[in-house]
Amino acid sequence: MKKVLIFPLLNSMPSGHHQVAEAMSEFIRDHTGEVQCKKVDLLSEWNAKVESVTVKAYLNWIRRAPNSYAWIYRQFAYKSSKEKSHKTYEWLFMKKVSEILEREKPDLIICTHGFPSIFINKLKKQGKCKVPCLNVYTDFFVNDVWGRECIEYHFAPNEAIKGALCQRYGIPENRIFVTGIPVSEKFSRQEERHSTKRLTVLVSGGSTGLSEVLNQLDEEVNEEKWNFQVLCGTNKKLQQKITALNHPAIHAIPYISSKEMMNELYSKADALVTKPGGVTVSEALRKELPIFIPAALPGQEEINLAYLLEEKLVFAVPEGRRLMDFLDETLADEEAIGRFQKRIKAYKNSLSLKNSDEIYMELEKILVGN
C-alpha cells in the first residue's frame, strides 16, 4: 500500500492549511482504498506545549497589534524574490523532520503550509530526501515561508503564481498545476437557488468570527427582507452576543465541521459576508456565491484581498457604507451580479485541474512513478 504524508501546521487552531490537507486526503480516499493518508503537525511533534503557546501568541498578536503584525509579515514573508535562509529554524527542526520521514516512510509528501516545506526543500538540496514532494498553496499568493527550488510538484492558486514559480525558481511548467485552492468536492456541486422575498446572507469570519459585522446587525434589520446566518466559529462570546439579541432575522451558528452542513448553508444563501481567507473564498467561488468583504486582517488577508479585487471576484464594502445598504444595492444590480458571475466562470475555466477526479489522476501518476 502506498502512503501519502501530509504536513499542515498548528493542530490546535482550525485553519485553511488543515482544511486543504483534509481536502487532499478526501480526494485520495474517494478514489482508492490502496493509498494511506496521514497528517502530521511538525510543531506538535516537536513540542506540543510550544505549539499551543504559539497559537495563542499568534492570535493575540493579530488582535492586539495588527499593524505591527502586518509590517513584520511583509518584511519577512512577502518581500524577497529569492529563497531566504532559515538557519535558526533549520537548526531547531531539521532533525525532527528527518525522524518523521524515516519513521513514516512515505511515497509522497504533501505540504499545505510553508513551514514544513522549508525543511523538505533543504533535505532535498542536501540529497537526503528522494521522496517526491507537492506544495499545495492555501492563499492566492505565495509568501517566502515556502521551500520551492527543489520541491518537485506545485498546486498553484492561479496562472500568475505558476508564471512566478517558473521564472524565479526554474520549476518546469509541467510540474505546476493551476488548481485554485483545493476545497472539498462537496462544495463543487452548485444547486439552483429558489427565489424568496427574504435575502439570506451567510456571515463567516473563520475560527475567531467576524465581530465587526455584529455592530451593523441591529434592530433595524427587517425580518421580512433579511435573514442573517452568522457563523461564529469558536467565538463563544460572539455566539452569546448574537443569541442575546433575540432577533428573528439574525441567527448564531456555532462551529461547523461537517462539509455537508456547510454546503447546505451555502446553497441556501444569496450572499456571503466574510474575510478574504483563501479557503472560505474558494468554497464560495465553487458555489458561485456573491462574496462581500467588509474587512481584512493584516498580512495574508490583505494580500488575498488585493488579488481578489483585481480579478473582480469579490465585492469590497466601501468604508463608511452601511453593510445592509451595500448588500441590498449590489444584489439588486443585475449587471453587477452578471459581471461577477462571468468573472467566476473565467476563473474556473483558467484552472488546469478542475475537480477531484483530475487532481487524483495527477497524484496517482506521481505515486506510480515513485
Q: What integer best gives the mean pLDDT of the chain?
A: 84
CATH class of 2-180+352-369: alpha beta
Separation CA 73–CA 300 (nearest Å): 8
Chain region(s) in the chain for CATH 3.40.50.2000: 2-180+352-369, 188-349
Separation CA 147–CA 83 (nearest Å): 7
Give the model's pLDDT for residue 93.
72
CATH code: domain 188-349 is 3.40.50.2000
Give the model's pLDDT for residue 336.
96
Residue 215: is it exposed, middle or buried by C-beta count within 10 angstroms (0-12/13-18/19+)?
Answer: exposed
Residues of the chain with pLDDT under 70: 9-15, 43-92, 188-196, 206-215, 218-219, 370
Angle between helices 278-286 and 334-349 (to 10 degrees): 100
Separation CA 120–CA 118 (nearest Å): 6
Give the model's pLDDT for residue 219.
60
Render 196-228 in DSSP notation, one character per residue: -SSEEEEEE-GGG--HHHHTT-STT--TTTEEE
- Answer yes or no: pTM beyond 0.75: yes
Give the model's pLDDT for residue 73.
46
Give the model's pLDDT for residue 329.
96
